[in-house]
Amino acid sequence: MFFDTNTSNVFRPPSEANSFILRITRGCAHNKCTYCNMYRGVRFEILNDEEVSRQIALAIKAGKNTVRRIFLADGDALVVPTARLLKILAVLKDSFPHLNRVSSYAAPKDILRKSPEELKALKEAGLTLLYYGMETGDSEVLERVKKGVNGEESIEAGQKVIAAGMKLSMMIIIGIAGVEGSKKHAIKTAEAINAIKPTMLSALTMMLYRGSELLEEYERGEFNPLSPYQIMVELNEIISRIDLPKTSPCIFRSNHVSNYVQLAGNFPKDKERLVLETEFAIEQMKNVKEYDVYNRGF
């Protein structure tokens, strides 16, 4: 359910397919990550009260009793000042009697700008789930892809969300460090996961998109992408190093369209099985050692 008449593309997590997508910003305030082309060419703006209210009114007209989940778009709705977010959340609570979850993407710099008290207030007001693309725990890779934070800051951002009592759905990207940085990326990313203890963890596979600087780097011979075989080796390395306690269970998925192999389980319960499944995939892909950008990108 989406009611903004602006023609710019709308992106949302797969799990929000049946949610009311309420656009409170357009574009991405950061919009510098070299691997991403989602909001290139979109001028970032925070929508005014009238624009937000119009969308809510249309959703109410379409059927207020059917709205149970709301996703605040676009790329980093958490950039909106806390007082304004609290006002919007209060309206949503009053408008939709069966609402049980509000969520949004959250860039690490936006999380870090919020105080612990602000995050707790947002959680209490109904914003209970944040989607956080950490991508990697390696500071060198984060700097190279212009994420805007280093490894320590990326961990701090995730920990702040968990400390506020929110659910954290965290994404990592397999292959983002290229061949040369693969091992370190795997080690640092697993360390970050262990430190943050996310509620949910998704592993996506690096793809090269038209309009991204990373594709341009590849075409200049400056980025050496992993083959399908190397992707599975890296994923196995990360999974093998994840060490989460039973008191902090984590739902794991590797079922994005970018992934070569579909994996699903829970840490720590299913770790041994997931390791075995990635080892099996490694064996199956041992002769697939070339990256086809024309089938895996754009």
* pLDDT for residue 163: 98
* pLDDT for residue 6: 66
7 domain-assigned: no
Is residue 225 a contact partner of residue 175, using CB atoms and an 8 Å limit?
yes
Q: Per the structure, how many domains does the chain have?
A: 1
* pLDDT for residue 9: 75
1 domain-assigned: no
Tokens read off for 151: 């490894």
5 domain-assigned: no
Q: What is the CATH number of the domain that holds 33?
A: 3.80.30.20
70 domain-assigned: yes
pLDDT tens for the 298 residues of the chain, in order = 656 666 667 788 888 988 999 999 999 999 999 999 888 888 999 999 999 999 999 999 999 999 999 999 988 899 999 999 999 999 999 999 999 999 999 999 999 999 999 999 999 999 999 999 999 999 999 999 999 999 999 999 999 999 999 999 999 999 999 999 999 999 999 999 999 999 999 999 999 988 899 999 999 999 999 999 999 999 999 999 999 999 999 999 998 888 889 999 999 999 999 999 999 999 988 877 666 554 454 4
Alpha carbons within 13 angstroms on the beta-carbon side of residue 54 total 11
Is residue 196 a contact partner of residue 158, using CB atoms and an 8 Å limit?
yes
φ, ψ of residue 99 in degrees (nearest 5): -65, 125
195 domain-assigned: yes
35 domain-assigned: yes
**Structural domain boundaries enclosing 118:** 14-296
Task: Give the pTM.
Answer: 0.92
Determine the Cα–Cα distance for residues 74 and 42; give it in Å rounded to an integer: 11
